[in-house]
Amino acid sequence: MNFRTRLAATASIIAMLGSAVSAQTLAELEAAAKAEGMLTTIALPHSWCGYGDVIAGFKAKYPEISVNELNPDAGSADELEAIRANKDNKGPQAPDVIDVGLAFGPAAQAEGLLAPYKVSTWDTIPDDAKDADGHWYGDYYGVMSLVVNTDLVDNVPTSFADLLKPEYAGQVALAGDPRASNQAILGILAAGMARGAEPGAEAAEAGLQFFKELNEAGNFVPVIGKAGTLAQGTTPIVIAWDYNGLSWRDGLNGNPPVEVIVPSDVSLAGVYVQAISAYAPQPNAAKLWQEYLYSDEGQLGWLAGYCHPIRFNDLVERGVVPQELLDKLPPPEGYAVAVFPAIEAVNANSDAVKAGWDSVVGASVVD
C-alpha cells in the first residue's frame, strides 16, 4: 500500500495518551513540562509551514513554558549536528526537538540521537511515514515548485526543462545549500526525476547533471533563495516547497507579484518528520510539544501555513477542517499526481547529492 493510499485509509484516532511510550497521563505530562519551564526548538522559521502561528498557539496554551528558538534558518544536517555538539550540554544551546527531512530521521535514529515517543494520535499517522517504535514520525508534506517573481520574469517557466532556456540567465536558485538542506537536496531529486530518472541514486545523478548544465549556462545563482532574495531580484526564480512559495507570496502582498508553479514534468512530494533528541534537556516539554503538533489544533496550524499535515485525511473525514482553509489551498491537480518516493530512495538521493555536488556542479551556495 503506497503512502497516499495509507494516508487516505487512516481515519481512526486514539482518545487517551495511554498509547505513548511513557505511562504519563496528559495531566502528568503537562505538569512535568511546566516544571521544566522551557522548550528549545531549532530550524523553525516562522514563515515555514505556518510555524510562527503554531509556536504562538503552543505558547498561548502553555504560558508557563517559554520557547527558546535556535537558528531558525538552519538545515536538517545542522539540526543533527546541534544534537551531537550538545550531548553533554543541558543549557539553552541543546535542542529538545527537531523537524527534519525524511532521510534525516532514520539516519539520526541509527546514530542514537533520538528518543522514542508515540503521540496520542499515533494511529492516524501512516505506517510508512513513521518509525514503528516512535523515534521519528511524519508531520507534513508539500510539493516541489517554481516560485517566480513575475515583475522580473516575463515568461513564467512551467517545467524544470524550461529553466535551461537562455532567457533565465542569472535567475534560478535553490532554497538551501544542497550539501545540508533537505529542501535543496530534494530539489535536485526533482530535477532528475523531471528527466525521467527513477527516484534514488539514478535521479540524483541526473539532477546533478541538470544543475551542472544550469550552472555552465549561467542560469544558476549560487545564493540561497528566500522571500528577501526573491523580492530583491537576486533570485527571481526559486526552486522551493509550495508552502514556502505561497507563504512568501502572501508576505510580499503583491510587491512584487509572485506565482507558484508545480512543474509539469515532475510533481515531487516531500515529507518532513518530527523527533525528540535523546539528549533533550527538557524531555517532558518535548513530548508535550509533539502532542500539540499532532493534535487537531496543531495540524490545522500547519494547514493554515499551506502544508498538508500528515493527518490531513483524518481531519477532513471527521469534518474538522474549516472550509476557508480548504478554499485557500492551491488547485489539486499537481497534488493528485504527486510522487512520494520510498525512504530508501530518499536516502540514496541524499547521500549521492551531498557526495557529488562539489565535484559535479562545483558551485558553492551561500546565504
String of DSSP letters for 156-214: ---STGGGGSGGGTT-EEESS-TTT-HHHHHHHHHHHHHTTPPTTHHHHHHHHHHHHHH
Superfamily of domain 3-139+270-331: Periplasmic binding protein-like II (3.40.190.10)
Q: Which pLDDT belongs to residue 337?
A: 82
C-alpha cell at 153: 520574469
Decide: residue 33, CB within 10 A, 0-12 exposed, 13-18 middle, 19+ buried. Answer: buried
Q: Which pLDDT belongs to residue 316?
A: 86
Q: Which pLDDT belongs to residue 310?
A: 92
For residue 358, the 8-state DSSP code is: I
**What does the domain layout of the chain look like in residue ranges?**
3-139+270-331, 142-269+336-361
Q: Which pLDDT belongs to residue 330?
A: 72
Taking the CA atoms of the chain, what radius of gyration do you get in angstroms? 20
Decide: residue 158, CB within 10 A, 0-12 exposed, 13-18 middle, 19+ buried. Answer: middle
Q: Which pLDDT belongs to residue 357?
A: 98
What letter represents residue 233's amino acid?
Answer: G
- Topology (CATH) of 142-269+336-361: D-Maltodextrin-Binding Protein; domain 2 (3.40.190)
Q: Which pLDDT belongs to residue 312?
A: 86
Query: What distances in angstroms separate CA 359 from CA 106, 186, 203, one per listed residue?
Result: 26, 18, 17
Q: Which residues of the chain have pLDDT under 50?
A: 1-22
Same fold, 3-139+270-331 and 142-269+336-361: yes
C-alpha cell at 207: 539532477
Residue 42 parent element (H or E): strand 38-42
